[in-house]
């Protein structure tokens, strides 16, 4: 038997970003349960920290016409109606309470004139809806949850990586979850976490792509853990390419430029100075877009009778428009377009101070990393892999996956966002469904009889984790990772077609063989090369899922755009694409029909069209 240490808890949460922290807090608050929180980084460093714009909640502090129904309809429209409507309803109804709860735990949001929480405009949201703190809302949120969470008796395992879930019955057979297997990054010692319930809150998959706003942690761990345990993954074809990432200098390519820049009036122009977003307005939004630049400005400055500027259309659309400009040779010198906030000096007297106050970290980021002063110059921006709408298929109310005892919340879970996520709906997603996952995981764990991990599963997981050391002198894992990132970027990126994706599947098969042969020298102590070896199977798993789902969806919808089927199709409007691991270890795909929304929700959607 391999040498390992055992930790026993009732609930284990994997991932300590917004969803994981909120889930752990909720599970601990239910009383009498032991809760463990396992995270790859130090506490408070998770990717949530990078969220900038804000969290969407229909509190109606700025525009009293807002309510959960409008938010629900906006979310469904943004997701092109393949969302899990149960989740969209719960999210719209519960988000305001989750935001107020953060304030009760010490978060300090920007204020309205009468002292309430201020809300800002964002793409796809009909009214100003995002509670925010300048452009560092994610930091405020994670720090608030962290500082509250450390007093709740949660056992935190910092810098620990989970490589396998432990379950009853054969591995991958979909049996009840009884724990997780992993190692501590500092020493490389194995750990077995026994638990009645496991909550996945591991975030996304951005590191499968070359140009991404995501940190190293986003290697699809939770997706792969769930898949390998026999759970369904859903909607994996829907990857969000955020329209505005930095493009220059090369070393910062992909780093996010918040949508808040456009929310504050930033305009997108091509090299000819043309505000090209006015040239292409999608049908779904025809009644909601400003007629001219003047009306757009009135909208961002709070005129309730004005419509939004086209820069504030949904991210999928804006990203494709930018892509089109660049491909047509109308881009900026380094292959992006210009995002200009400095122009507002024509409109307001103290524009530079206003920009620094509203967008401090953007000012800082461009000044220090690109040598650009955004109060006087335009930024160069282009699409960057940002978010995956797809993930673990969960029950909308409890967040339990198709594997008993396995829960998922936040980006790793599928459903809320459908084919495209609205900006600001992620932070509220983390809170609403983090809380629900924690609550239901606790309830589940309480009802379970004791179970113990099967020695054979632990042994197999340990063997697999150590395999790269047996192949010292094998291929460098970083090379395989870079090859994968190039492949996904080129062939399953923002514009897709059948031919390239078929080639991508062949490429992935070849990379799977290479990944099985990577080797690493050195020992288990804080060894990033070893960690990269272990990330590869996860990245390959999610890449294959994305590619297979994207091949099957022969239409364009939300984040998924196919140049060989550029329109939405009725044939694909009524189902989600699901993959599951077959008994033979291969990936099986099926189409799951979407249950029609409740009558009252249908009416809400119609009324808000």
Is 496 assigned a catalytic role?
Answer: no
Which of the stretches 134-142, 306-314, 337-345, 485-493 binds other proteins when contact is defined by CB under 8 A? Answer: 134-142
- Dist CA 313 CA 514 (whole Å): 41
Peptide bond into 348 cis (omega under 30): no
Report the largest interatomic distance among the alpha carbons of the chain, rounded to a whole angstrom: 71
Q: Which of 429, 407, 400 is nearest to 416 (CA)?
A: 429
Among the listed residues 398, 448, 476, 489, the single contact to other proteins using CB under 8 A = 476
String of DSSP letters for 306-338: SPBPGGGS-HHHHHHHHHHHHHTT-S-TTSSEE
Counting other chains too, the contacts that 48-51 makes at CB distance below 8 Å and 24 or more residues apart are 48/17, 48/18, 48/138, 48/141, 48/142, 48/427, 48/430, 49/17, 49/138, 49/139, 49/142, 50/138, 50/213, 50/215, 50/256, 51/18, 51/137, 51/138, 51/141, 51/426, 51/427
Q: Which of 185, 262, 421, 440 is catalytic?
A: 262
Q: Which is nearer to other proteins, 109 or 127 (CB)?
A: 109
Encoded one letter per residue, x for contact with other proteins by CB under 8 A and - for no contact, window 24-43 reads -----------------xxx
- The packing angle between helices 528-552 and 498-515, to 10°, is 150
Q: Which is nearer to other proteins, 107 or 540 (CB)?
A: 107
- Dist CA 241 CA 363 (whole Å): 22
Is 242 assigned a catalytic role?
Answer: yes
DSSP state of 450: P
Please state, as a whole number, how many other Cβ atoms lie within 10 Å of the Cβ of residue 267.
23
Asked if residues 261 and 339 have their Cβ atoms less than 8 Å apart, the reply is: yes
Q: Which is nearer to other proteins, 109 or 241 (CB)?
A: 109
**How many residues bind other proteins, per CB under 8 A?**
66
Q: Which of 47, 242, 531, 553 is catalytic?
A: 242
Among the listed residues 4, 8, 155, 158, the single contact to other proteins using CB under 8 A = 158
Q: Quick check: 147 binds other proteins (CB under 8 A)?
A: yes
Q: Quick check: 467 binds other proteins (CB under 8 A)?
A: no
Q: Which is nearer to other proteins, 111 or 274 (CB)?
A: 111
Which of the stretches 272-280, 365-373, 382-390, 596-604 binds other proteins when contact is defined by CB under 8 A? Answer: 365-373
Q: Which is nearer to other proteins, 133 or 337 (CB)?
A: 133
Asked if residues 512 and 194 have their Cβ atoms less than 8 Å apart, the reply is: no
Residues in 175-204 that interact with other proteins by CB under 8 A: 186
Among the listed residues 9, 69, 77, 148, the single contact to other proteins using CB under 8 A = 148
Which of the stretches 26-34, 163-171, 226-234, 515-523 binds other proteins when contact is defined by CB under 8 A? Answer: 515-523
CB of 525 to other proteins, least distance (A): 6
Among the listed residues 303, 368, 455, 470, the single contact to other proteins using CB under 8 A = 368
Among the listed residues 9, 22, 45, 435, the single contact to other proteins using CB under 8 A = 45
DSSP state of 289: B
Asked if residues 22 and 431 have their Cβ atoms less than 8 Å apart, the reply is: yes
- Dist CA 122 CA 423 (whole Å): 6
Which of the stretches 137-145, 275-283, 320-328, 586-594 binds other proteins when contact is defined by CB under 8 A? Answer: 137-145
Point out which residues bind other proteins (CB under 8 A): 41-47, 49-50, 100, 103-106, 108-111, 114-117, 133-134, 136, 138-140, 143, 147-148, 150-151, 158, 186, 215-217, 248-252, 255-256, 361, 364-365, 368-370, 476-479, 482, 520-522, 525-530, 532
Which residues form the catalytic set?
Answer: 242, 262
């Amino acid at each position: 038997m391999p040498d390992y240490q055992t930790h026993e808890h009732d609930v284990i949460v994997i991932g300590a970003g917004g969803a994981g922290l909120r889930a752990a807090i909720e599970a601990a608050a239910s009383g009498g349960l032991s809760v463990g929180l396992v995270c790859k980084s130090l506490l408070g460093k998770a990717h949530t920290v990078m969220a900038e714009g804000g969290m969407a909640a229909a509190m109606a502090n700025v525009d009293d016409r807002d309510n959960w129904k409008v938010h629900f309809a906006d979310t469904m429209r943004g997701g092109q109606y393949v969302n899990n409507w149960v989740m969209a309803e719960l999210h719209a109804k519960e988000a305001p309470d989750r935001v107020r709860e953060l304030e009760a735990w010490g978060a300090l949001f920007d204020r309205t004139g009468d002292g309430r929480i201020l809300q800002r405009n964002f793409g796809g949201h009909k009214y100003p809806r995002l509670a925010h703190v300048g452009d560092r809302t994610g930091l405020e949120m994670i720090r608030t949850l962290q500082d509250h969470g450390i007093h709740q008796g949660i056992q935190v395992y910092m810098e620990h990586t989970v490589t396998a879930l432990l379950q009853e019955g054969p591995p991958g057979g979909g049996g009840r979850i009884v724990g997780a297997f992993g190692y501590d990054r500092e020493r490389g010692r194995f750990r077995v976490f026994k638990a009645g319930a496991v909550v996945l809150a591991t975030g996304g998959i951005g590191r499968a792509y070359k140009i991404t706003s995501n940190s190293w942690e986003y290697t699809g761990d939770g997706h792969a853990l769930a898949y390998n345990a026999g759970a369904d993954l859903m909607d994996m074809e829907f990857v969000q390419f955020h329209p505005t990432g930095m493009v220059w200098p090369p070393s910062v390519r992909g780093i996010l430029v918040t949508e808040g820049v456009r929310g504050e009036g930033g305009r997108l122009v091509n090299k000819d100075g043309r505000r090209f977003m006015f040239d292409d307005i999608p049908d779904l939004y025809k009644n909601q877009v400003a007629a001219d630049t003047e009306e757009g400005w009135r909208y961002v400055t709070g005129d309730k009778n004005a419509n939004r500027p086209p820069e504030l259309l949904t991210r999928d659309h804006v990203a494709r428009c930018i892509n089109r400009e660049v491909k047509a040779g109308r881009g900026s010198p380094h292959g992006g377009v210009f995002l200009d906030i400095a122009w507002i000096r024509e409109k307001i007297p103290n524009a530079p101070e206003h920009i620094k106050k509203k967008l401090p970290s953007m000012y800082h980021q461009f000044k220090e990393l690109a040598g650009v002063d955004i109060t006087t110059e335009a930024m160069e921006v282009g699409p960057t892999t940002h978010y995956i709408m797809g993930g673990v298929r969960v029950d909308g109310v409890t967040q339990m996956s198709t594997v008993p005892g396995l829960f998922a919340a936040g980006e790793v879970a599928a459903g809320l966002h459908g084919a495209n996520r609205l900006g600001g709906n992620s932070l509220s997603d983390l809170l609403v469904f983090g809380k629900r996952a924690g609550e239901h995981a606790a309830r589940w764990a309480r009802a379970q009889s004791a179970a113990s991990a099967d020695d054979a599963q632990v042994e197999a997981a340990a063997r697999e984790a150590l395999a790269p050391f047996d192949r010292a002198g094998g291929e460098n894992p970083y090379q395989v990772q870079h090859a994968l990132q190039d492949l996904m970027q080129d062939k399953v990126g923002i514009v897709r077609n059948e031919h390239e994706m078929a080639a991508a599947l062949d490429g992935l098969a070849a990379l799977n063989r290479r990944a099985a042969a990577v080797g690493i020298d050195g020992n288990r102590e804080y060894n990033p090369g070893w960690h990269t070896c272990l990330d590869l199977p996860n990245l390959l798993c999610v890449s294959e899922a994305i590619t297979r789902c994207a091949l099957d969806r022969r239409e364009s919808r939300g984040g998924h755009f196919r140049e060989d089927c550029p329109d939405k199709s009725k044939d694909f409007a009524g189902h989600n694409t699901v993959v599951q691991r077959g008994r033979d270890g291969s990936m099986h795909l099926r189409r799951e029909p979407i249950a029609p929304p409740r009558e009252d929700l249908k009416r809400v959607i119609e009324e808000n069209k």
